[in-house]
Amino acid sequence: MTRKVYVANNADGTVSVIDTATDKVSATIPVSAECSALAGCPFGVGVSPDGSRLYVRIDAYSTTPPITHVAVINTEANTVITTIPSTLQSPTAWGSAQTAKRFISRTSKPTM
């Protein structure tokens, strides 16, 4: 089993996949077509319990209120399979139930 580390690169709108056996980037996944304050940039990642999905927080931080959505990545193919709008502003912590039926996020800002 290959062990991987996922890194959100908010400067260029990608997620790097690092193979821990070699400590080298094995893939780069584009998650935001135009990483900018208006279009959004990746800021955090979370992995499903079975490792099949990666959830990437994408923030458009200069909008009022800030817009957040979550890109869902198939970790086998390293491709974005869907994007989910979020009602939370700036989620800061990720979690997933062991059943992988729910994904939980915490926010640093209250919703208004």
In a domain, 1, yes or no: no
Q: Which of 94, 87, 45 is nearest to 67 (CA)?
A: 87
Cβ(17)–Cβ(39) below 8 Å: no
| Residue 82 belongs to domain spanning | 34-109
In a domain, 26, yes or no: no
20: DSSP letter: T
pLDDT at position 90, please?
Answer: 55
In a domain, 18, yes or no: no
Query: Does the pLDDT of residue 5 top 80, yes or no?
Result: yes
pLDDT at position 95, please?
Answer: 55
Give this prediction's pTM: 0.75
pLDDT at position 92, please?
Answer: 53
Q: Note the pLDDT tens digit of each residue in 48-98.
A: 888 899 988 887 766 666 667 888 999 999 999 998 887 665 555 555 545
- Give the count of domains, the chain: 1
Enumerate residues 6+ apart whose C-beta is below 8 A from 40.
Answer: 32, 58, 59, 60, 61, 67, 68, 69
In a domain, 62, yes or no: yes
